[in-house]
Structure 1
Amino acid sequence: MRIASGPLLLSAALMLPALPSQAAMLDIATVAHSSVFVRDCRSAEARAANAMLPDKCEATAEFNLVDTMVEQRYVAALGGNSATIQATHAAAKVGGKVSQGSVDGSGALGQIVIKQGSFTQPYARVSSWTDVLQSYAWDGSGAATRTLGGTLDFNHVGMFGSDAFNATGTAAAATVDMTLSVFSLTTSTISVDTELVANQVYLYEEFALGLPGYRREAWVERFGEVSPVSFGATFSLEQGRTYFVEARVAAFARFGGALDATHTFSASITDLQGLTQAQPLAQPYLITNVPEPGSALMLLAGLLGLGCARGSVRRG
């Protein structure tokens, strides 16, 4: 079963003294965020008995996602270009491997690098979500059509693919979901509501939908495929517009499955002539959280509860 498209909703108990109590709009040209989520899919009785069999893991009328979430770690650098997070819960550590996500857009012009790993004990589900946004202005020189392309390379343990991950039963399984989006505006920044970012995980293109001149230029999505995955997106340039490139990778593993993407997602614009990349803020606006296990996390109903989130941006 494939998961419905839309933004990824989550509610978080944030420990963020600097976060304003009222919505604060922040104009930014770059974003980097990374997060990990861990679910212990055992009932209280199974946990008390130290039983490894997940007995509270399927989507049923009685299923409650909140009851199984034991860790959420999240960092968003608004106006930044790199972010790294790592799980600390034992359910997300296997054989010296730790579930983690990192993104780096600080290298050569036009390049993005994402590395992830989701490793899980036989009774748990673990996932990682990582996103980066870059932006470019064009001076009119060179070709008016450009290509953004690259590869996603990974290793996996257990059955692979979204159908296997979402199947009933307790078999080990893993899957990966990658999206690459290019959109443009007649302004040079997007306006982000920091309060919404603090309480929800979005594709940041969501924040551009109502801004001047918004236009979708290209969209690529890959999921449930064997490594390596190659991809490419072609888009046309127009002077006076700013072009935003957003890349997102989500890695999922359950019940002893594992997906190790530290072999890397990499994307780059093949022709950079006439393009100027926006630089990150000297001090990006950071939003982080390390909530207590069992806090009221209505997390990832469209992501962790059922599998991998689809990347289409909501337009309602």
Structure 2
Amino acid sequence: MKAIRVHEYGGPEVMRFEDVPLPEPGPGQIRVRQRAVGVNFIDIYFRTGAYKAAQLPFTPGKEGAGEVTAVGAGVSGFKIGDRVAYGSAEGTYAEEPVIAAAAAVHVPEGVDDATAAAMMLKGLTAEYLLHRVYRVKPGDTILFHAAAGGVGLIACQWAKHLGATVIGTAGTPEKAELAKAHGCDHVILYREEDFAKRVREITQGKGVPVVYDGVGKATFPASLDCLSPLGTFVSFGSASGAIEAFDIGLLAQKGSLYAIRPTLFTFSSQRPVLDAMAENLFGAVRSGAVRIPVNARYPLAEAQQVHRDLAGRETTGSTVMEP
């Protein structure tokens, strides 16, 4: 089969489209003929070595969807021919990878493969952010950075459906319009405006109870200035670079704030929780409350260009690669 292989950490050019042996699933694993592969910023972190792979060479990728072609020993709940999707697997930049059955969920009727592949990591992230880290409720006003990004477009729609007033940030007028079309009531152009000041203006000085920040370095510590007393700062990514030298005393100075750095992998590590999260996500998508914008499709062989576009913030919504 064909797969993307990384033999050394580095830029997009280190990803090679190679022939590799078709793997056999071991205990607790399934093999999937993928119809679509999801693309996420975490893939860049692993490619560059910001996050270390278990070994070199390795195949990147966490997300995908397709059809089960083989089942390993001890696996229950999946059989050959089942449609599955996953957002926390390993090595999905491949035609037919072996993944842990614990990472997979069944794809219901009415959800196509590209949508399923595009929604799992980002959609499950939105699920735990809005329903588990801070439970968004009617009447809340929230701030979501990078509102036109993959997680942002899903989360802003969902938060609006939950009854929140949604403030988003975006880098360009075009992205601002996209965010408005996906649930944002207010969009701040963070490169041109002081977003903390604008949040205070929008909320009449009160601030917001929660800030969801997947940007990192470029939006910190100003994100803390957007929060009301006892508010929650949720740092779930670092697209602009990692937050450095975090001084926990800032949380006291700015209103007895809470701060959390959650990950999808923690929330999805227990099967009952993953199933509940997936059911919630698929329900929101099938009802029409949340639309999954698949705004770019590439062949798997063009993974280098996909990473260049993603790192350059040239993408909106979700990108999928097709083996």
Q: Which range, TM-score by smaller chain?
A: under 0.3
More strand by share: 1
More helix by share: 2
Q: Compute the TM-score of the two structures, normalised by the length of structure 2.
A: 0.25
Q: Compute the TM-score of the two structures, normalised by the length of structure 1.
A: 0.26
